[in-house]
Amino acid sequence: MKNLYKRVNPVTIWMVGASQGIGLELTKRWLEQGHRVIASARQAESSSELAVLSKRYANLKCLNLDVTDEQDCQQKANQAWLLFSGIDIWFYNVGAYQPMTIAQWCTEDFVKMNQANYLGAVSLMVALQPMFAKQGSGRWIWNASLASYFGLPYGGGYSAPKAALVNLAESLQPELAQQNVQLQIINHGFVKTRLTAKNDFSMPGLVEPAQAAALIDQGMQRQNFEIRFPFKLRIFLSALKTMPYSWALAITRRMLKS
Ligand SMILES: NC(=O)c1ccc[n+]([C@@H]2O[C@H](COP(=O)([O-])OP(=O)(O)OC[C@H]3O[C@@H](n4cnc5c(N)ncnc54)[C@H](OP(=O)(O)O)[C@@H]3O)[C@@H](O)[C@H]2O)c1
């Protein structure tokens, strides 16, 4: 399959989750590289950062979208498709994170994380798939997390829907490849954004959003199914996944707060 994404070859990218953090930094990079970008988030059209970029780049269109609303997903997918007459890359970057103990479980937050981290991608996938199939080419990139590798204490509400997203991607990849649509996932570690601002522990391998965007951009130059970083955290979490449960759970038990 041809790599649609080359820095020198302008393409149309729909970035869903573009107003903050990693999504905003990727949007800036792509515009600098000359790509056409549709930037979506709940308040994309009133985001001051995106408004500054809109003044500078005619290739940027902002489109409000709430991925928790299925109908909005269908309508905005149709609208986004028409903005530049087709989409080459759909990038799903929405994420919500709220750590919690089982004793202080918040079902409302858990449902929000399932909608943002998993079901929103599914709603957009259902809306977009016929259009990509008709176009006969495209690329989907879903930003999951290294947290999808193994459930860690207090983070399950976030990591369980991320793991579901990765599992779904694995199951869909062969079928989509047959339709000339390349599906890629991203499993990366800690990035300094409003999500990780909620963490009260030290985060190994923490990077700035601009660094994360550069690494993702690099990964997009290649065709691998998984874009992943940083190396050390990935190795640690892969080891947890592959070692016997009795060992892995003995390690994660030590992460509990006393
Ligand atoms: N930060 C990390 O350490 C880390 C690590 C691994 C993976 N990730 C993943 O990387 C992605 C980006 O994370 P980030 O840290 O950059 O997060 P962020 O700064 O909170 O950005 C998330 C983006 O998603 C948008 N969004 C949230 N809820 C939405 C909704 N219901 N509908 C439409 N848009 C919505 C936000 O805009 P509005 O709120 O304005 O709608 C924002 O543009 C997420 O999928 C996250 O899970 C992050």
- Tell me the β-bridge partners of 15: 39, 91
Handedness of CA 59, 62, 66, 72 (dihedral sign): negative
Mean pLDDT across the stretch 11-19?
Answer: 98
pLDDT value of position 252: 98
Q: Best of 40, 141, 193 to mutate for ligand 1, by most ligand atoms within 8 A of CB?
A: 193
pLDDT at 219 over 80: yes
Using an 8 Å Cβ cutoff, are 44 and 18 in contact?
Answer: yes
Q: What is the pTM of this model?
A: 0.97
pLDDT at 3 over 90: no
Domains of the chain as residue ranges with CATH: 12-253 (3.40.50.720)
pLDDT value of position 142: 98
Which of 58, 222, 17, 70 shows the shortest CA–CA distance to 139?
222
Q: How confident is the model at residue 245 (pLDDT cuts 50, 70, 90)?
A: very high
159 C-alpha vs ligand 1 centroid, how far in Å? 14
Using an 8 Å Cβ cutoff, are 93 and 143 in contact?
Answer: yes
In this structure, the residue with its CA closest to atom 11 of ligand 1 is 93
Ligand 1 pocket residue status of 46, Cβ below 6 Å: no
Measure Cα distances from 176 to 74, 154, 179, 206, 235 in Å: 20, 34, 5, 33, 29
pLDDT value of position 6: 67
pLDDT at 128 over 80: yes
pLDDT at 237 over 80: yes
68 C-alpha vs ligand 1 centroid, how far in Å? 13
Q: What string of H, E and C letters represents the secondary structure of 44-86?
A: HHHCHHHHHHHHHCCCEEEEECCCCCHHHHHHHHHHHHHHCCC
Amino acid at 213: A
Cis peptide before 174 (omega within 30 of 0): no
Q: Best of 20, 40, 211 to mutate for ligand 1, by most ligand atoms within 8 A of CB?
A: 20
Ligand 1 pocket residue status of 194, Cβ below 6 Å: yes
109 C-alpha vs ligand 1 centroid, how far in Å? 15
Using an 8 Å Cβ cutoff, are 117 and 165 in contact?
Answer: yes
The two structure tokens encoding residue 145: 């997390």
